Amino acid sequence: MLAAMLKSPGNLTMENVEVPQPGPGEVLLKVDACALCGTDKRVLAGEKPVSVPIIGHEIAGTVTAVGPGVAASIKVGGRYAVQTVIGCGDCPMCKISRENLCEKGFTAIGYAYNGGFSESMLMPKNAVDQGCLIPIPAGMDAEVGTLLEPLSCGINGLRDIPLEDMRHVVVIGAGVIGVLNGLIARARGAKRVSIFNRSQDKLDVIAKLDLPFDDLINMSKTDPDAWIKEQTGGRGVDCVIVSASVKSLGSLGMGWLARNGHLSLFAGMPKSDSIEPIDLNLIHYRELHLHGANSSVRRDYLEALRFLDSGKINGKSLITHRFPLQEFAQAVKVQNDSRSGALKVIIKP
């Protein structure tokens, strides 16, 4: 089979390798589609280590073989999206199906196990046993199926925020993760959703795709503090979602919140530089709520599936580019080029 093999940071080659054969409890998938993610960019640049040569974790595929002992419900021909996170199965968080908070540290498809930038991939036994194969409907395009993973992460990060009751939500960051968070807020009932970004390119992509947002604000041309004050009569917004890895945005967004407001720190910060001063009295006197976000679990994938299958979120509208596996290097270039008009780039082996 053909696979994109990571030899070293920035050094990736296309190779023909043996098709893996499923052992006891394992499942072989034909990869129908695998999307490029911002984390893949960090892996390829050597900023995030992996222990396997084949990356890719936003995956939809079809079962082509099953090993001994696999549940009878998983059959050849079944179509699935892949849940990325695999927990230890023993710690208190895993016992309540919160493998994303595994106390021993979760492992992941595309990081500790070969991923989806190949014609076929093997689902390990621990992933199969955990339920990491998420069935997708016969009528759902595999391209849309790849969106379950990033959408599920947004669903997890926003789960404890009462978006249904909110008048105004601001998302900082106009990449695909910011867009998905904004779409979740809209789908759950937020009345006004505004996207902020420091450059115009991504905002132009969103405008061209006619996504259902009320405001697209270029922070380098519009004073965001003044805009928030004017638009809200000085009271602030109900929720700010930080989807860009810039640590100063956390304290900036906190200052935009109305009383009883919610701040979602969706984006992780560089581990070498993650400390940012904040005014704790803002939290105290305004009774603010802070939320973290760390990947997702099966319940989030199933909710993502309902959003996409029902049409509450139009997944097809987010996919701007498609490439065969042989053109993986070109796909990465397009994803990384802010002038390319790319939002979601799909590899179709």
Q: Indicate whether 208 and 272 sit together in one domain.
A: yes
What local confidence, expressed as pLDDT, does residue 276 receive? 92
Q: Indicate whether 142 and 200 sit together in one domain.
A: no
In a domain, 304, yes or no: no
Give the tens place of pLDDT for each residue, 229-262.
999 999 999 999 999 999 999 999 999 999 999 9
Instruction: Work out the number of other CB atoms within 10 angstroms of the CB of residue 295.
Output: 19
What local confidence, expressed as pLDDT, does residue 270 receive? 85
The CATH number that applies at residue 92 is 3.90.180.10
Question: Residue 192 and residue 235: Cα distance in Å, rounded?
Answer: 15
Q: Indicate whether 127 and 160 sit together in one domain.
A: no
Q: Indicate whether 135 and 18 sit together in one domain.
A: yes
Q: Indicate whether 253 and 268 sit together in one domain.
A: yes
Number of domains in the chain: 2
Nearest to 227 by CA among 285, 164, 161, 170: 170
In a domain, 301, yes or no: no
Which residues form the domain of 232?
A: 153-292
Structure confidence at residue 10 as a pLDDT band (50, 70, 90): confident
Cα atoms in the Cβ-side hemisphere of radius 13 Å centred on 128: 24
Q: Indicate whether 141 and 35 sit together in one domain.
A: yes
Question: Residue 263 and residue 266: Cα distance in Å, rounded?
Answer: 9
Give the tens place of pLDDT for each residue, 49-86.
899 999 999 999 999 999 999 999 999 999 999 999 99
Classified as helix, coil or strand, 249 is helix
Q: Indicate whether 38 and 65 sit together in one domain.
A: yes
Q: Indicate whether 157 and 274 sit together in one domain.
A: yes
Helix (H) or strand (E) holding 231: helix 224-232
If you search the block for the tokens 């893996």, which residue do you land on?
20
Give the tens place of pLDDT for each residue, 79-102.
999 999 999 999 999 999 999 999
The CATH number that applies at residue 279 is 3.40.50.720
